Chains A and B, each alone.
Chain A
Amino acid sequence: MRTSTRDLPGATIIDVEGEIDISTSPNFRRTLLESLKKATRLAVNLSNVRYVDSSGIASLVEVLKAARDTEKRLVLFGLKAPVQEVLQLTHLAKIFEIRKTEEEALQA
């Protein structure tokens, strides 16, 4: 799994690529939490994520809680079927702010 960060006016975008499982989710979690400290809005691009397990989902939940606790926003975008299916299965699809494109995520 790889991540890269882009800072835009009013938002930080994290581009994630690859598979998020117990070997990679600690790094995923750390990257998102660190980026959230400096951002008012964090948009996570999951369009190149092929797989996410429950530890990856737990990381997203933790980041969402941290965002809410600090009155910041977390938006996920670009979700493909493998990620959408996991969020549906874990009943979390309605907990997160989810958008189809980067443009929509930045306008949310």
Chain B
Amino acid sequence: MDETRGRTLRFHMTLPSDPRLLAVVRETVSKFAAVWGFAEEQCRAITHAVDEALSNVIRHAYKNRSDQEIEMRLQADGDCLEFTIVDCGEPPDDAKLRAQPVDATALGGRGTYMIRQIMDEVSYEKAPGANRLHLKKRLPGALPSPKRP
């Protein structure tokens, strides 16, 4: 496993915004995380975060249209897994990106909260024609990235 983590691994997929394909992506993400050395429970958590992010794109950015395009890039580098999800749909409100804890009886709003609970770093860039969500998860024991000045 240490030998595997000595080099960067990249995986890139482009998929339509069809929710039936989420199960396919979950399998890929789960296996990718396992290959990179994450424990079973962490693989499940990472898969969950990515799945929720893709679901948000389908439901909110693309308003449940199943014929739009989502790009997902996975990169494993050192002690870290990074995911970049790109869509060209409607960006979310800033308030929804902040993901406050959800009232227990609320019917929605848990997806973004779960993503932020699971991943070590979450950042979002809005740009015309290309919204980008970056998710990063470090292996346990890895040092956090230094903050930029």
Contacts and interface: CB of A to CB of B under 8 A. Distances in A.
Contact of A23 (B22, B101, B105, B108): B22
Interface of A is mostly: helix
A86 B107 contact: no
Interface string B103-121: 0111110110110011000
Contacts of A53: 48, 51-52, 55, 111
B55 to A, nearest CB: 5
A6 interface: no
A21 B48 contact: no
Of B19, B20, B41, B59, the most chain A CB neighbours within 10 A belong to B19
A65 B105 contact: yes
B58 interface: yes
A55 to B, nearest CB: 7
A8 interface: no
Contacts, number: 59
B23 interface: yes
Contacts of A92: 104
Contact of A90 (B26, B41, B102): B102
Interface in B22-70: 22-23, 26, 41, 44-45, 48, 51-52, 55, 58-59
A11 interface: no
Interface string A6-43: 00000000000001011100000000000000000000
Contact of B59 (A22, A90, A95): A22
A11 B104 CA distance: 26
Contact of A19 (B23, B105, B114): B23
B51 A58 contact: no
> Which 6 A-B residue pairs are closest in the complex by CB-CB distance?
A23-B19, A54-B110, A54-B111, A22-B19, A58-B107, A22-B55
15 contacts: A21-B55, A23-B19, A23-B22, A23-B23, A51-B26, A53-B55, A54-B55, A55-B55, A61-B104, A61-B105, A85-B41, A89-B114, A89-B117, A90-B102, A90-B110
